[in-house]
Amino acid sequence: MNANQTMVKMILDRWHAMLGQFETALNSLSDEQLQHEISPGKNRGIYLLGHLIAVHDDMIAKLDFGKALYPELEAPFITSPDKAVAELPSAASLRAKWTELHTLLNGKINSLQPEEWFQKHTVVSAEDFAKEPHRNKLNIVNTRTNHLSYHLGQFILIQ
Amino acid sequence: MNANQTMVKMILDRWHAMLGQFETALNSLSDEQLQHEISPGKNRGIYLLGHLIAVHDDMIAKLDFGKALYPELEAPFITSPDKAVAELPSAASLRAKWTELHTLLNGKINSLQPEEWFQKHTVVSAEDFAKEPHRNKLNIVNTRTNHLSYHLGQFILIQ
């Protein structure tokens, strides 16, 4: 295993581990429980689920894998806070989207070669990337994994 | 910036960012608020604070920087769940320990050379490390950063 492979494994192991923990929590909750708040007055489970789908869907374009599958989720789950949108998609439809998205995304992630992870992501310019080589594709997964951990800690509070 | 420096920056940037966010939240809470639960029936703020200090204190030995500063915090904040120990240390003493610990730990972290981060941490054997080079010092910071993100997501729920 060379240095690039080692670093890629460090980051992807965390990504897959946190996704697995989130899915275990998600599968343990009923659709009705997803309507509960993580804490009084705070976000509901269904909002966190939709938020994570929308943020991970946006990784497809940032990693140069293609186009987002569900751009319509950006408005209710990223631009808007919870309870600002009258009707959110159903829990059943979000569960299906979660599975479809991560099947596609992880298929692409697992097929990328180690050296490709250190290429620039699509949002940084070539000029900036030359000065800031840490703004690479692997760092997209790194930062999104920490974002997922943050919301996983909240999601498991749902009762 | 060579490849090792790039990888170290990716991980350490997240560590320092999450620590900064936690400290902002901590400084916004009174000692009385730290006694509140993150959600009804769940951990209290003071428990999460002590838990993070104990887990980060343990990084000193794992990163081969020396000995833990507060080994007495392992029993109440790692071995035991919240509310199992009759009397926890005061919020004031934990705030002081948080600062003292991270001043020392981050001083050591920031002085480590990039190539040293890819050496084995103290808990893995040389034989296992030869087969699993991702079990290096940088991965200790990587996994602890995700752990911190998880509890930060909970800590900011305190009202």
Partners of residue A37 on adjacent β-strands:
A44
The predicted pLDDT at position B98 comes to: 98
Look at residue A35 and tell me whether its pLDDT is greater than 80: yes
The predicted pLDDT at position B1 comes to: 77
Averaged confidence pLDDT in chain A: 97
Residues on chain B touching A11 (C-beta within 8 angstroms): 142
Comparing CB atoms, the residue among A41, A138, A150 nearest residue B149 is: A150
Look at residue B22 and tell me whether its pLDDT is greater than 80: yes
Q: What is the CA radius of gyration of chain B?
A: 17
Look at residue A155 and tell me whether its pLDDT is greater than 80: yes
Give pLDDT tens digits for B130-145: 999 999 999 999 999 9
* Interface touch B14/A138, C-beta < 8 Å: no
Give pLDDT tens digits for A128-137: 999 999 999 9
In chain A, the domains with their CATH numbers are 3-8+17-155 (1.20.120.450)
Structure tokens at A17: 């581990």
Mean pLDDT of A144-158: 98
Mean pLDDT of B37-44: 98
Residue with tokens 């999104």: A144
Look at residue A5 and tell me whether its pLDDT is greater than 80: yes
Give pLDDT tens digits for B41-87: 999 999 999 999 999 999 999 999 999 999 999 999 999 999 999 89
Look at residue B88 and tell me whether its pLDDT is greater than 80: yes
Predicted-complex ipTM score: 0.97
Structure tokens at A129: 């990337």
* Interface touch A10/B151, C-beta < 8 Å: no
Query: Among candidates A45, A19, A13, A15, which has minimal Cα distance to A30?
Result: A45
Comparing CB atoms, the residue among A1, A142, A157 nearest residue B14 is: A142
Give pLDDT tens digits for A50-100: 999 999 999 999 999 999 999 999 999 999 999 999 899 999 999 999 999
Interface mutation target, options B120, B141, B146, B156, chain A, most CBs of A under 10 Å: B146
Partners of residue A136 on adjacent β-strands:
A120
Mean pLDDT of A4-12: 96
Q: What is the separation of C-alpha B5 from the centre of its chain, rounded to a whole number of angstroms? A: 22
Helix count (H) and strand count (E) of chain A?
6, 0
Residue B96 to residue A40: CA distance in whole angstroms? 30
**SS3 of B116, please?**
helix
Confidence band for B23, pLDDT divided at 50, 70 and 90: very high
The predicted pLDDT at position A1 comes to: 77
Residue B6 to residue A100: CA distance in whole angstroms? 33
